[in-house]
Amino acid sequence: MEKTWNNKAWFMVLPVLVLVAFSAVIPLMTVVNYSVQDTFGNNQFFWAGTDWFIQVLQSDRFWDALTRNLIFSGIILAIEIPLGILIALNMPKTGLGVPFCLVFMSLPLLIPWNVVGTIWQVFGRVDIGLLGYTLDAIGIPYNYVNNVFDAWVTLIVMDIWHWTSLVVLLCYAGLVSIPDAYYQAAKIDGASRWAVFRYIQLPKMKRVLLIAFLLRFMDSFMIYTEPFVVTGGGPGNATTFLSIDLVKTAIGQFDLGPAAALSLIYFLIILLLSWIFYTVMTNSDAQS
Amino acid sequence: MLELKNITKVVGADTHIHSTDLVLERGSLNVLLGPTLSGKTSLMRLMAGLDKPTTGTISFDGKDVTGVRVQDRSVAMVYQQFINYPAMTVYENIASPMRISGKDAATIDREVRKAAELMKLTPYLERTPLNLSGGQQQRTALARAIVKNASLVLLDEPLANLDYKLREELREELPKLFAAAGSIFVYATTEPQEALLLGGHTATMHQGRISQFGPTISVYRKPADIVTAKTFADPPLNTLDVVKSGNTFERGGLSVLPVPAHLAGIADGAYTIAFHPHHLSLARPHDTAATLKARIIISEIAGSESFIHVDCAGSRWVMLEHGIHDIEPDTAIELFIDTRHLMAFGPDGRAIGGSAASQTVRGA
């Protein structure tokens, strides 16, 4: 049959092209536009070249915020991944407990970020918050407003409370997909509980763990709402992460050029780190 | 010697295994033959010690092992799914049972290489199971069972998920492997053909009961009851309810078949007669074959054989014919039945009368 040649196919992809253009390409290019120019309003632009990038990369403010981000993500991953696996391993696999556990685990995931922030902001307050007041009353000094350590602990506990469920649910999905025959075979071999975990459950969970790891890394690296609501980046700059710094620069100080440069650098860092994680983890998968 | 005495298994309201007695000899190859859900796997799990029987005792070489945990017995098991440790190499997989039992490195290496040679896995020892074909994965699982040198080796439909060619190849090798070791082998399958090819002893299972246990060929030739005969027939057994009157089998007062010599001695009365599809034919096989009128329902061509479904005297039968026979549905035909192989079962389902004539299992 003769092939028909026409340009109709373009109409098919047009909606997607328009959507992506307006939701991603145009905003991104606007940011690129701002990052290489200087403006004082009135739509007057002056070419700035790489000045803003150099300024951002040379500022202590940027490197401090980036360090905070990396430490925060590191702590989050180091706690949430093992904790998620541990909880998933102990969840029931059959019976009435399953739907109960699943719903219970999903609850924190259903709460919007800023609500989670507000809950903990109130919860931790020394004057009226249940947690803050109780700790204070039993003699443990706790105040996330003026103590750096307390502020960090609050943010970390809050994130764990909010997001460990995601790791649990992903791991659980990996665990229930393991056929029962594997456990039987291990039992017949006389394999220990640890061996079953190390040689059957962990390898079988590998793929979902990779996804959990990437999701939690990207999400925690982009953290904004919770510290914004709870600590506002303080005390001092102790919880000023890159995202908060970005908003302060862009909206607080209206330094559009440096803010645009910062957001591009921020974007590239996340892209780069995610790519590194993905490559390392999938490579080790192919080797083993 | 593995001895099951009065074993039952009840789970909730369901009885998975009805009272069962079974004695398996050392060095024997035993087939559990039955359809899906007939209790083969449940029985194997009881033999292994993965489940505790609800009642009854299991003894091994005279010692009661009913309450002994599976890891403290000497058991190896291979499943329908290909079960290996996913992150270990083939070498480590085969070595794993010996590592747990604490063998020294030299012994492990020797045994692994021997088993790998036997299962043709030598080139793949450094790969992980995911990088192997299904057949190689199952060979790995079989090699793990071999090196364990267990006194009881349970194979639960091990070839069911393999393609046809591999299945034939492995099925040929398995009895040889079994013969070499002195363990008790139990092999579960849904396919009568597989049981016949493996030989040894067969226990036919039906709805949680062992209907018959004995040398495979004699269970096939002389089933003790109609349930066994049906379990051990693929394509399905043809049956017809008849009344014996003198030297004819009648149905609704009309003579259907002459009574063959080996059944001449049985009393007059109601029987179910049965025979295998390959005992029906379109051409007269020999002088004593009886003739019947039938109507074609459908003919299925399976390679060099044809399954011809016919309606005869109100019963639906299958005929297995060599060659390609594509006959239009609804055609009236005359078919021949080799009455020397007729089996007769009483109203209670028990086999009646003289044994069917000694025969070679044709096209089993």
Q: Does the distance separating the beta carbons of A188 and B75 come in below 8 Å?
A: yes
Q: Does the distance separating the beta carbons of A179 and B81 come in below 8 Å?
A: yes
Is any Cβ of chain A less than 8 angstroms from the Cβ of B87?
yes
Task: With CA atoms as reference, report the closest residue to B204 among B179, B183, B225.
Answer: B225
* B77 contact residues in A (CB cutoff 8 A): 184-185, 188
Task: Over range A120-130, report the average pLDDT.
Answer: 85
User: 3-class SS at B163?
Assistant: coil
C-alpha torsion sign, points B108, B109, B115, B119: positive
Q: Does the distance separating the beta carbons of B97 and A189 come in below 8 Å?
A: yes
- Please tell me the distance from the alpha carbon of residue B357 to that of residue B261, in angstroms, as a whole number: 9
The helices-and-strands tally (H runs, E runs) of chain A is 14, 2
pLDDT value of residue A16: 92
Please write the tens of the pLDDT for every residue from A198-219. 888 998 888 888 889 888 988 8
Distance between A196 CA and the closest CA of chain B, angstroms: 9
* A193 contact residues in B (CB cutoff 8 A): none
Q: Interhelix angle for B105-118 vs B90-101, to 10°?
A: 130
Task: Over range B161-165, report the average pLDDT.
Answer: 82
Q: Which of A131-135, A152-156, B253-257 shows the lowest mean pLDDT across its residues?
A: B253-257
CATH 2.40.50.140 positions along chain B are: 235-352
Q: Which residue of A has its CA nearest to B77?
A: A185
Q: Which residue of B has its CA nearest to A196?
A: B85
Is any Cβ of chain A less than 8 angstroms from the Cβ of B142?
no
User: 3-class SS at A217?
Assistant: helix
Distance between B90 CA and the closest CA of chain A, angstroms: 11
- Please tell me the distance from the alpha carbon of residue B190 to that of residue B329, in angstroms, as a whole number: 31
Name which of A180, A189, A194 to mutate to probe chain B: the one with the most chain B Cβ atoms within 10 A of its Cβ: A189
Please write the tens of the pLDDT for every residue from A218-256. 888 888 888 888 887 778 788 888 888 888 888 877 778
pLDDT value of residue A2: 67
pLDDT value of residue B363: 33
* A202 contact residues in B (CB cutoff 8 A): 87
pLDDT value of residue B357: 40
Task: With CA atoms as reference, report the closest residue to B295 among B250, B252, B251, B329.
Answer: B329
Query: Which residues 119-178 of chain A have a CB within 8 Å of chain B?
Result: none
CATH 2.40.50.100 assigned to domain B235-352? The reply is: no
Residues, chain A: 288
| Token duo for residue A171 | 């791991």
pLDDT category, B283, cuts 50, 70, 90? confident
Is the pLDDT assigned to residue A124 strictly greater than 50? yes
Angle (CA) B74-B75-B76 rounded to 5° is 135
Q: Which residue of A has its CA nearest to B41?
A: A181
Is any Cβ of chain B less than 8 angstroms from the Cβ of A203?
yes
Task: Over range B252-256, report the average pLDDT.
Answer: 80
Other C-beta atoms lying within 10 Å of the C-beta of residue B176: 9
Distance between B359 CA and the closest CA of chain A, angstroms: 41
Is any Cβ of chain A less than 8 angstroms from the Cβ of B149?
no
| Alpha carbon A116 to its chain's center | 15
For the domain made up of B2-227, give the CATH fold. Rossmann fold (3.40.50)
Residue B236 identity:
P
Distance between B181 CA and the closest CA of chain A, angstroms: 19
In chain A, what are the domain boundaries? 28-58+255-288, 67-252
pLDDT value of residue B364: 33
For the domain made up of A67-252, give the CATH fold. MetI-like fold (1.10.3720)
* B75 contact residues in A (CB cutoff 8 A): 188
pLDDT category, A286, cuts 50, 70, 90? low
Q: Are B124 and B173 in contact (CB under 8 A)?
A: no
CATH 3.40.50.300 positions along chain B are: 2-227
| Token duo for residue B243 | 């009344």
Q: Does the distance separating the beta carbons of A185 and B79 come in below 8 Å?
A: yes
Residue B94 CA: distances (Å) to CA of B78, B102, B108: 13, 14, 9
Residue B271 identity:
Y
Residue B229 neighbours by CB under 8 Å, 6+ apart: B223, B237, B274, B343, B345, B351
Distance between B131 CA and the closest CA of chain A, angstroms: 10
Task: With CA atoms as reference, report the closest residue to B221 among B308, B279, B292, B285.
Answer: B279
Helix (H) / strand (E) containing B184: strand B184-189
- Please tell me the distance from the alpha carbon of residue A112 to that of residue A229, in angstroms, as a whole number: 12
Q: Left if phi > 0, otherwise alpha if psi is -120 to 50, otherwise beta: which for A95? A: left
Is the pLDDT assigned to residue B14 strictly greater than 70? yes
Distance between B97 CA and the closest CA of chain A, angstroms: 6
Residue B81 neighbours by CB under 8 Å, 6+ apart: A179, A181, B161
pLDDT value of residue B359: 37
Pairing of the two strands B238-245 and B269-275? antiparallel
Which long-range contacts link A187-191 to residues 24+ away (Cβ below 8 Å)?
A: A187/B50, A187/B70, A187/B71, A188/B48, A188/B50, A188/B70, A188/B71, A188/B75, A188/B76, A188/B77, A189/B71, A189/B96, A189/B97, A189/B100, A189/B148, A190/B71, A190/B72, A190/B100, A190/B101, A191/B96, A191/B100
Q: Which residue of A has its CA nearest to B95?
A: A189
* A191 contact residues in B (CB cutoff 8 A): 96, 100
**Using the 8-state DSSP alphabet, how is residue B277 labeled?**
G
Q: Which of B70, B71, B85 lies closest to A200 in CB terms?
A: B85
DSSP B69-135: -GGGS-EEEE-SS----TTS-HHHHHHHHHHHHT--HHHHHHHHHHHHHHTT-GGGTTS-GGGS-HH
Is the pLDDT assigned to residue B184 strictly greater than 50? yes
Task: Over range B152-166, report the average pLDDT.
Answer: 86
